[in-house]
Amino acid sequence: PIGLGAMLAAIMCIVIGSSVTKSLGTKMHWWTVLTWQLILGGVLLSIAAAVLATINPQPYVHAVQNIDM
């Protein structure tokens, strides 16, 4: 059920993103729309990662500790 929900959420994101790009494409260049979508998506993913790191920091600490330079 979780995988199906994730798949449906991904499809909805594609549909909504396409609709936003199509509607804003008449007002501004598509590259500008795409850039802002990527920036906002990155911000939302960063917030989600910060929340998850606050709830369960061990995987993040483990990942950072295993970085070899």
Over the stretch 43-64, which tens digit does the pLDDT of each residue have? Answer: 999 999 999 999 999 999 999 9
Q: Taking the model in full, what pTM does it have?
A: 0.62
Q: Please measure the distance between the N-terminal and C-terminal CA atoms of the chain and give it in whole angstroms.
A: 40
With cut-offs at 50, 70 and 90, classify the pLDDT of residue 6.
Answer: very high
Q: 41: domain range?
A: 2-65
CA proximity to 53, closest of 42, 63, 68 = 63
Q: What contacts 21, CB < 8 A, 6 or more positions away?
A: 30, 33, 34, 37
In total, how many domains does the chain have?
1
